[in-house]
Amino acid sequence: MADRIAKIERKTRETDITVELNLDGTGSFDVECDIQFLKHMVETFARYSNIDIRMRATGDNDHHLIEDVAISIGKAFAKAFDDSPIERMATATVVMDDAMVMTSLDIVDRPYCETDIPDPLYQHFMRSFAMSAGITLHILQFRGFDEHHIIEASFKSMGKALCAALVKRDTELSTKDKVKVN
């Protein structure tokens, strides 16, 4: 089986981003980013998903950088993903102080995203990631009042769910088998 590794470079007038992913990693990270909170969230995502991430990201403002980082990570995820059978669907719940957040996802080429994240920029991050990665992503907030804790618990629960969904299987987990497009 081939390594599930990818590198994406995204350069626009607004951002300059390089992302390298290893889906079969150990959660190591090397992240440089103009937004320190986004850097922290990408590192948290790497740790909880066991996906190795190396990223360099600069941009002209928070909205552009957050969106383009999400797109870049999503595209790298899709590129690194191979056709080997995996668990595909997973759910993970994380508590962090006042916050309790659950993520359910399906790694299937039907991108969709619903999230209860209270910050529109990080709602947009999750939506941009899901659309670029081609996954179905639902993030529910059960409790919480501190936005930092809610957002961080969202990245942690998404990471844990992806870690579980990426586990390789011997057989395809679908009644349709593999979809073939001509």
pTM of this structure: 0.93
Question: How does pLDDT run across 98-153, given as a tens digit for each residue?
Answer: 999 999 999 988 999 999 999 999 999 999 999 999 999 999 999 999 999 999 99
- The span from the CA of 89 to the CA of 91, in Å, is 7
H/E run at residue 150: helix 147-165
Question: How does pLDDT run across 60-109, given as a tens digit for each residue?
Answer: 999 999 999 999 999 999 999 887 889 999 999 999 999 999 999 999 88
